Amino acid sequence: MEIINNRYTIQGIDALDLAGEFGTPLYVYDAAKITGRIEELKSAFPDMNMKIKFACKALSNLSVLKLMRKQGAELDAVSIQEVLIGLKAGYKPSEILFTPNCVSFSEIKEAVNLGVVINIDNISILEHFGNEFRDSVPVCIRLNPHIMAGGNKKISTGHVDSKFGISILQMRHLLRVIHNYKVKVIGLHMHTGSDILDAEVFLRGADILFEAAYDFPDLQFLDFGSGFKVAYQEGDVTTDIHELGAKLGKAFKAFCKNYGRKLEVWFEPGKFLVSEAGVLLVRTNVIKTTPATVFAGVDSGMNHLIRPMMYEAYHEIVNISNPNGVKRIYTVVGYICETDTFGLDRRMSEIREGDILAIKNAGAYGFSMASNYNSRFRPAEVMLYEGKAFLIRKRETLEDILNNQVEIEF
């Protein structure tokens, strides 16, 4: 968002007008920011055969996926439902990487039948897979490099105590299973977590992946996951994508030379592509003063954006109804019957009942983690594309909530 003539705008559209037209709470996505992020990532790896696999768990709306496909980004899916949505969005099965965790084998078999690329992160599942398909279905293997990344265990997935991936310490066991079942491995995958600042973390993981790769003669790609850090507040340090591209690119080319042929390099960004493109517009219901705090209570809550409560994530909040108001201290909270705090002790322009607040960086893991807790409706979603606003998901109704319930007559 930017301020033009004292009004907050997105792609030149007044954010207050969006709230007025579509109601609140409302998720708004700036398509230009998404496409800009894709181009930025492409430009950081100019001399490499790179594929971007959007981690669609971050934001799985069909229109968003179609935008991603239009820009040349493929998909990383973690459930069979995400696979089916990806296919509905027009992706070819070969463009979808299926990376499930702790799912039933029947779900993996369904993915095989759909023709997507299978990523396996468990030796017992690999044995089952080998017994069922042997070398008829090539696979990718997800390794756990035992690297603690991002500084927050809740969003780190490559540490020693993680449920994700096959431990690098199990390589001998892994290779025996692959050999005995004649499984054809065409890719190796690693994802260490989110909010990674230092290119050296990727390089440490890359060294582990490179070393492991020499035991797999049929590789077509190496997948380095993602975890690039985005800015959540002014002054935040972010991942230098171009520095990463230069350093990792150099190391990858050297590896390919030693391996004997060029491989593809894959990344699967989620938050990096959509987080800053999204904003959640909410309306202030009440201003409540207590002996300790002034609360601004809004018409949304952890049912729409759970990240602040689940991860202690920081999201900047601005009062777009009163951009030049006197600065005061507020704690912005939701309307859920839980402690659902969006922002604690925030210095903001004076908030009045009825004012529209914008919660920034809400594009990733916002709507996709939303629920009907307290029997509240999930919000509408709007995409701004080439200066026009398009409704891409209608606001829910009571009928939607009750649709699958079966009433018993007593």
Residue 3's DSSP bridge partners are 8
DSSP 116: P
Residue 148, Ramachandran bin (φ over 0: left; ψ between -120 and 50: alpha; else beta) = beta
- Distance of alpha carbon 143 from alpha carbon 165, whole angstroms: 5
- Distance of alpha carbon 262 from alpha carbon 267, whole angstroms: 16
Nearest to 74 by CA among 47, 90, 57, 96: 96
DSSP 136: G
8 Å CB contact between 10 and 44: no
- 111 by DSSP, 3-state: which? helix
- Distance of alpha carbon 85 from alpha carbon 393, whole angstroms: 14
Backbone phi, then psi, for 111, in 5-degree steps?
A: -65, -40
- Told to judge if 337 belongs to the known catalytic residues of this protein, a careful annotator would answer yes
DSSP 67: H
- 336 by DSSP, 3-state: which? coil
Q: Which two tokens stand for residue 294?
A: 């002034």
8 Å CB contact between 126 and 178: yes
Nearest to 277 by CA among 40, 22, 21: 40
- 215 by DSSP, 3-state: which? coil
Residue 193's DSSP bridge partners are 156
Nearest to 362 by CA among 304, 278, 272, 300: 278
Options 102, 140, 256, 337, the catalytic residue: 337
End-to-end CA distance of the chain: 53
**E-state strands within 174-250:** 185-189, 221-223
Residue-by-residue DSSP string for 173-194: HHHHHHHHHT--EEEEE---BS
- 66 by DSSP, 3-state: which? helix
Catalytic residue annotation: 337
